[in-house]
Structure formats: C-alpha cells, structure tokens
Amino acid sequence: MAAATGAHDLLEHWLSHVTAIRGQSPKTVTAYQHDVSGYLGFLSNHFGGTLGKAALAKVTITDMRAWMAYERRRGLNARSLARALSAVKSFYRWLSETESIEVTAVLATRAPKFDAGLPRPIAKADAKALLKTAEFQSTENWVGARDTAVLTLLYGCGLRISEALDLTFGQTPLPEVLNIRGKGNKDRIIPVIPAARKAVDLYLKLSPFIHTPETPLFLGVRGKRLNPRQVQKVMEQVRLQLGLPASATPHALRHSFATHLLEAGGDLRTIQELLGHASLSTTQNYTAVDQARLMDVYKKAHPQGS
C-alpha cells in the first residue's frame, strides 16, 4: 500500500532531517522509513482518500488503535510494533514543529507491553575457551588470527561488531585507548586490553594483504572489508564445538564484557560510558546480574547508601 504524494514528501523531508541534523545511522533511518511508510500506507487505505497534511492531522486514538490492530493481525510482534509506534511518534513530533500539525492523539497512544528480556552473557570460562577455539575454524592461519582478534575486541573492549569492523589500518598498532564512534555518531574513549592489541598485531603479521591507512583493519579472503556474517558464522561453529547455547552470539560477548566488569566491582556509570549508552537503564539491561548485586552497587555508590 503506497502512501499518497503529500505524506510521502513529508516522510522524505523528515528522513533527510534525522539523517543530516540528528546524525542517525543508516540502519536507523532505514528502519524509520520502513515503519512510517507502513503506517502511512495503512492510513491511505483507512481514510480512502488523498493522504496529506490534513489527513495526518485528523488522526485519532481510534485510528491509531486500528493501525496497531492491523499490524498485529499481520503478525507483527509487540516489540516490533512498539518500535514502529516510536518511529511514528518521532515523525509526528517533527510534523508538529515544522508543519504545526496537531499530534496529541498520536503521542498519547500507548505502546504494547512486551517482555524485554535480559541479555544472556557467556560465562567467563566459556568466553576464554571461545577465544582460544576461534583460531581453529579455518585452515588459513591468518584467517584464524583475524577471527580471534575480532572476537577479542568484542569481549575485551565491549565493541559492537560494526565498531570493530569500522577500525582501519591507520589506527594500528592499537594504542592503550581508542576513540570509537558508535551509534548516533557519538564518540567514546575505551581502554584496549593488552590481549586485544596482541591479537591484532598477530593478525596483521600473518595477513597476506597490503594495507594503507584507509584500508579496513579486518579483511575477508578477497581483500574486501570483512562481512559481519563471517564473524557470526565463526561464533556458530565455535559454540557447536563447545556445546554453548544459541544465545552465545558475537553481541553476547559485548553483554559479557559489561556483566563481568560489574561482577568484578565496576560501577554502572563507568560501564555505561564504555558501552556508549545514552541511558543508564540500558546499561542495567546489558548487565544481566541479580537484583541483589545491583542494590549492592547502588548502596556503595550512593552517598546515603550506608
């Protein structure tokens, strides 16, 4: 169901805004486009007429509920619908600012409840075994060293896959601290553990390719930027060998980085900065530890905790 031209133009202008002004990542902008386009497509059929500013302005809570019910019937789960509603609300906030459109009904619409679920970290012993096993997933020594270096950065530094694969040869040899640009083009400073620097050095020593400062640090067998899917594939092979659950993914190494730091006595604020989270509540979700441990951290950190 295609949205009418008026609404489509507004959507394109908004997407340009969030890209240029708010610095949203390409993946986020693509998700916004998908979610809001679906919403506008529904409204076009729902109202049965031209979809422009006037139609967008007359949306009621009843209309919003009809859209959400339609999406659920299509099979959209509660989490995805909550994400779509968040995108629609963001679009309408922009419409309010730029087009003076009434947005009360849209912003008042409640998101469906869903169980966010805590991420499942990998046990310390399993994480160590995983890093030792990664190098044996390829008959090429340099490929094994590459995979080990990537996974060591995820677990030892709390990097996302995209952040590790965005590193360039010009950033080597890795310093003791790295400036990482993460989601929303936000920069953060992270320490680089000796094991990670050593793993990267070994990979570069064995790599058959000629690197320039602009070359991606981690390359595939054809000399192009390493595909994230290859990192996921290595994790799949390793977890099968070690008998680890399906939750042992590359991103779970980032969960484990946060959880193991907290268990060792790290404070939530510091871990929040290392992970690059805008909200402390997000960090709490990453650190899948029991409530008693969290309360202990709060009591030690809060001036009136004792």
Side chain identity, residue 125? A
Residue of 160, 197, 239, 260 with catalytic role: 160
Is 255 annotated in the active site? Answer: no
Cis peptide before 173 (omega within 30 of 0): yes
For residue 115, what are the CA distances in angstroms to 79, 152, 266, 288?
Answer: 8, 31, 27, 15
3-state secondary structure of 267: coil
Is 286 annotated in the active site? Answer: yes
Give Cβ neighbours of residue 51 (< 8 Å, ≥ 6 apart).
Answer: 3, 4, 6, 7, 40, 43, 44
Residue of 183, 188, 211, 233 with catalytic role: 183
Residue of 286, 293, 298, 299 with catalytic role: 286
Is 58 annotated in the active site? Answer: no
Residue of 146, 197, 239, 254 with catalytic role: 254
Residues 170 and 213 sit within 8 Å (Cβ to Cβ)? yes
Is 293 annotated in the active site? Answer: no
How many Å apart are CA 260 and CA 278, to the nearest integer?
Answer: 20
Is 160 annotated in the active site? Answer: yes
Is 277 annotated in the active site? Answer: yes
Query: How many Cα neighbours within 13 Å face the side chain of 146?
Result: 28
3-state secondary structure of 178: strand
Catalytic residues: 160, 183, 251, 254, 277, 286
